[in-house]
Amino acid sequence: MHMHGMQPGARPHIWLVEDDEDMVTLLRFYLEREGYRVTATTDGRLAKDVIEGTEPPQLALLDVMLPYVGGDEVLTHIRRHPVWKGVPVIMLTALSAEHSIARMLDAGASDYIVKPFNPQELTARVRRFLTPAA
């Protein structure tokens, strides 16, 4: 379990980096329903600012295709960051970009989810790293 930096009883914080706002709403709906607290960032450049300026979440869900700075670069940034490097990162990848999965796992991704996603699979994969608040 990677539950570092969490207050007892607090809802685990998931940081979502995804440029499609409708997808953010959809993912947020499923994750909040499971008892997680979700914050979202909509491009790679802003994501790097978040990494530099805030406390790490308990888990990051990171889209591969992001404006300005790609998800792979954000992942590398996380893995090189002294405070964020231990954060579990689940990559969100389109079915057509499945070939990039091995590269993402080599670069330090903890897991991946293929879009279109299965909601049960999403929550199960997130649960591997986090225990939702009751």
Partner 1 sequence: MILAVVIVFVIAGVQQATIARQQRSEQFREVWFRLLIKSMMTAPDELPPVRSSDAQDFLRLWNYLSESIRGDDRNGLNATMRLAGMDRVAAKMLKSYRLDDRLMAVVALGHLRERTVWNALERFVVSRTPELSLAAARSLIRIDAQAALAILIPLVGARTDWSFVKVATMLSEADLGQVVEALAQAVRGASIDATVRFVRCLEAVGSPGALPVVREILARENCDHQVVVACLRCCSRYATHQDLGTVRVYLAHPNHLIRLHAVLALGRIGTEEDEPRLIDRLADDEWWVRYRAAGVLAGFSFVSSDTLARLHAEHPLQEVRDVLAPFVARRAQRVLQTTNG
Chain residues in the site for partner 1 (CB under 8 A): 22-23, 25-26, 29, 33, 95-96, 115-121
Identify which of residues 52 and 98 has a Cβ nearer to partner 1 in the complex: 98
Longest distance between any two alpha carbons in the chain, whole Å: 40
Exposure pattern of 85-106 as b/e (b: 16+ CB <10 Å)?
eebbbbbbbeeeeeebbeebee
Identify which of residues 9 and 116 has a Cβ nearer to partner 1 in the complex: 116
Write down the least CB distance from residue 34 to partner 1, Å.
12
Write down the least CB distance from residue 17 to partner 1, Å.
17
Alpha-carbon distances, residue 61 vs 8, 42, 56, 82 (angstroms): 23, 12, 13, 19
Identify which of residues 4 and 127 has a Cβ nearer to partner 1 in the complex: 127
Write down the least CB distance from residue 33 to partner 1, Å.
8
Identify which of residues 23 and 50 has a Cβ nearer to partner 1 in the complex: 23
DSSP label of 69: S
